[in-house]
Amino acid sequence: TKLSESKKKSTANSTSMFQAAGDKDKKKDKSNKDKEKNNKKKNESDDEDTEMPRKEKGKGRKSKKEEKPPSPEIEFDDLEEFVLLPAPQGITIKCKVMRDKRGMDRGFDPTYYLHLDNDKKVFLLAGRKRKKSATSNYLISIDATDLSNLMGTKFTVFDNGLNPDRALRDMSNARQELAAIIYETNVLGFKGLRKMTVIIPGMDDDNERVPICPRKDNDSILMRYQNRQMDNLIELHNKTPVWNDDTASYILNFSGRVTQASVKNFQIVHSKDSDYIVMQFGRVADDMFTLDYNYPMCAVQAFAIALSSFDGKLACE
């Protein structure tokens, strides 16, 4: 896999904060703090985008003009390998999600397509809820025409390895859990502000994902989180929007990448640094959304998190 102009910047945000070993957090120095301040300044822009629906025609036009400095040029030889690799440190992978509603009149669920948000609009992934599935079971595939290659299910995200019951004894070809997504209700159910928790595997000293291959259900990421067994796991949350008295709404700063208000708009951050945006997702048209992700997240993790926000139980536009 090759990424052109891929500068591997080592910052406190993208190394110790996500490493599995707890004592890594002690290794902070002055240069890291300076970089954190610089990152914070970059994230502070004049235009802010709303989390909750409201109409602001003028602001929408302004945001569209500032929407897109061009994405870094991304090149890769193996699509399946690329979508499972964490984003390189210091590089934001900018994407768009398109929702295709054709077929809904015949009882089909929408299909979602993930592309790189650049001039070439390179296809990455497609996703759709499984037919006749009573649970929130989504299929994600690198083949836009064949959504039978299971890579994610419900709110636990898997790679395309084998079920542990069918895997080799050494588990070398067993499927890995890539993430778990948890939504919490409030007094308005899911119609008010959403609270999301995302649990992903931690990163080792070589900045590679720690493999999580549970043999039993109680070893899954969701069960480990429920039992607060957080070894080799990283806990992320959606950033809390700020109430704005002038607009009488909750707002988040998307730096021009989101142009329409929606309850689906969100940013995922680590509790130790709310200015480092691990992932952000938001509406730019009725059936078009931007999706950007950073280290240590990969495309499959980010796309699955976005798909979970469309689930029927959360049905809010």
Mean pLDDT of 212-231: 89
Cβ count near 69 (within 10 Å):
10
Is residue 234 predicted with pLDDT exceeding 60? yes
At residue 101, φ and ψ (nearest 5 deg) are -90, 0
Least confident piece of the model among 145-149, 241-245, 313-317: 313-317
Cβ atoms of 136 and 279 closer than 8 Å: no
Is residue 108 predicted with pLDDT exceeding 60? yes
At residue 299, φ and ψ (nearest 5 deg) are -60, -40
Confidence of residue 256 (pLDDT cuts 50, 70, 90): very high
CA gap 268, 158 in Å, rounded? 19
Is residue 53 predicted with pLDDT exceeding 50? no
CA gap 147, 70 in Å, rounded? 30
Domain residue limits, the chain: 79-310
Is residue 201 predicted with pLDDT exceeding 90? yes
Read off the tokens for 277. 């945006």
Confidence of residue 24 (pLDDT cuts 50, 70, 90): low
Output the furthest CA–CA distance in the chain (Å, rounded). Answer: 61
CA gap 314, 268 in Å, rounded? 18
Contacts of 34 (CB under 8 A, 6+ apart): none
% helix / strand / coil in the chain, to the nearest 5? Answer: 20, 30, 50
Q: What is the domain class of 79-310 according to CATH?
A: alpha beta
| Per-residue pLDDT tens digits for 151-176 | 333 478 888 888 878 888 888 888 88
